[in-house]
Amino acid sequence: MTATFDVINPATEQVVETVELTSAEQTDAAIGRAVAAGPAWRAVAPGERARLLRAFAEAVRADQENLARLEVANSGHTIGNARWEAGNVADVLHYYAAAPERLFGRQIPAPGGVDITFAEPLGVVGVIVPWNFPMPIAGWGFAPALAAGNTVVLKPAELTPLTALRLAELARSAGLPADVFQVLPGKGSVVGQRFVEHPAVRKIVFTGSTEVGKRIMAGCADQVKRLTLELGGKNANIVFADADLERAAASAPYGVFDNAGQDCCARSRILVQRNVFDRFLELLEPAVRGVVVGDPADEKTEMGPLISAAHRSSVAAYVPDDAPVAFRGHAPDGPGFWFPPTVLLPSSPADRTVVEEIFGPVVTVQAFDDEADAIRMANATEYGLSGSIWTRDVGRALRVARAVEAGNLSVNSHSSVRYWTPFGGVKQSGLGRELGPDALAAFTETKNVFLATED
């Protein structure tokens, strides 16, 4: 009997669709097909591969509204966010469509001959995608991998497979050859594990929890398999006294409560200089209470539900009845995995809400004394993915940005991801970089060739 999984709409708790789960044997067969498709795909002329990727991008763009509404049901994302996410897939495909014709090697001076390098595709790339951003994170993996001449097998999260399956259909309709890009819905312990174990999969791209990332890294070590990891985050939003406090407070909820806080880049620790701490809280409260939480299909909604009942229970465990709640926003009653935007004032820097990644709409606010204190507090975490710095002092912004241990920082902004710039973490937030002009290096191997010119 074929195993299946019911995809649940997080806003209604209703079944959206029942999806067949890929078995280990089916995974091996798909990897075999990807291997067989590899030689022809890498032999496609660079201009033709670019054309196919542009056609794929245009197919995604034409289907953007359908993909967005599917994501609303698939993962509970607000319709505005879901439209951006589908558009991001198209943008990333367009960006990397320029890559096949620009995969330059080098000519290196060498005595007695000519030395040249080639950027060769790796082979089969396994992309493992989380449930919090199913479309964009998939695109960040498969677009540069395909552009570099690799074939791709992609495992969407078990909870949210629908948009990935639709993207595979769009790839085929755009003319990508069969088996060059395959989507395999299934369990991580089955499909993901075969990606790690199968010797024909030459690289893994994984986004998810640090705990699972460590297990994947250990599994890849056995075959010295290439790996890109984008893992957890416990990011600081540092607000100095000279900042535009009104703007910093008004934007802070959207730096953490976007996607219901289910974001590794969420600024879930707000650090405020002590002499403006009380004023900042006064400004923050109406901003938090003003976040519109509700039906994700409604154009006015700013925050939707959590992904599942189990995840809601996990988030709620961080806010027991005696939690130091400063204030809360609102959330609907009735069906759906709702949790209100919540602001905590922890009394200890060792409190679990300060240290652990909650991955929900819960933010802590703490006071710091000076620049050195802010940097110390920001770095007091095993993670290092993202963060924000609010100040009018450009010198301070640069000093603090250089001192904070994080892969992506924004000054007077909460932006973390732009497809034309590198993205990734330090410490236990990950390994390697995605997006931007350098991502292709993660999907190619440098081959060096020396041609002797002397007898």
Contacts of 239 (CB under 8 A, 6+ apart): 245, 248, 252, 270, 271, 272, 273, 276, 280, 390
What is the Cα Rg of the chain in Å?
Answer: 23
Which of the 8 DSSP states describes residue 435? Answer: S
The catalytic position among 264, 265, 302, 434 is 264
- Antiparallel, parallel or unpaired: β 325-328 and 269-273: unpaired
Q: How far is CA 416 from the centre of its chain?
A: 10
CA distances from 363 to 259, 260, 359, 430 (A): 14, 11, 10, 22
What gap in Å lies between CA 141 and CA 423, rounded to an integer? Answer: 12
What gap in Å lies between CA 127 and CA 137, rounded to an integer? Answer: 9
Centre a 10 Å sphere on the Cβ of residue 428 and count the other Cβ atoms it contains. 20
Secondary structure class of 220 (helix, strand, coil): helix
What gap in Å lies between CA 259 and CA 354, rounded to an integer? Answer: 20
- Asked if 37 and 179 count as a contact pair (C-beta separation under 8 A), the reply is yes
What gap in Å lies between CA 296 and CA 276, rounded to an integer? Answer: 35
What gap in Å lies between CA 4 and CA 15, rounded to an integer? Answer: 13
Which of the 8 DSSP states describes residue 320? Answer: -
What gap in Å lies between CA 19 and CA 158, rounded to an integer? Answer: 9
What gap in Å lies between CA 333 and CA 335, rounded to an integer? Answer: 7
Q: Which two tokens stand for residue 276?
A: 């403006």
Q: Where are the extended beta strands (E) located within 159-262? A: 181-183, 201-207, 226-230, 236-239
Helix, strand, coil percent values for the chain (each to nearest 5): 40, 20, 40
What gap in Å lies between CA 83 and CA 72, rounded to an integer? Answer: 10
Q: Which two tokens stand for residue 172?
A: 């085929």
Q: Which two tokens stand for residue 261?
A: 């806080």
The catalytic position among 71, 158, 230, 434 is 230
Secondary structure class of 454 (helix, strand, coil): coil
Please indicate whether residue 101 is annotated as part of the active site.
no
| Helices H / strands E in the chain, number of each | 14, 18
Q: Which two tokens stand for residue 30?
A: 């798909």
Please indicate whether residue 230 is annotated as part of the active site.
yes
What gap in Å lies between CA 173 and CA 169, rounded to an integer? Answer: 6
Q: Which residues are catalytic?
A: 230, 264
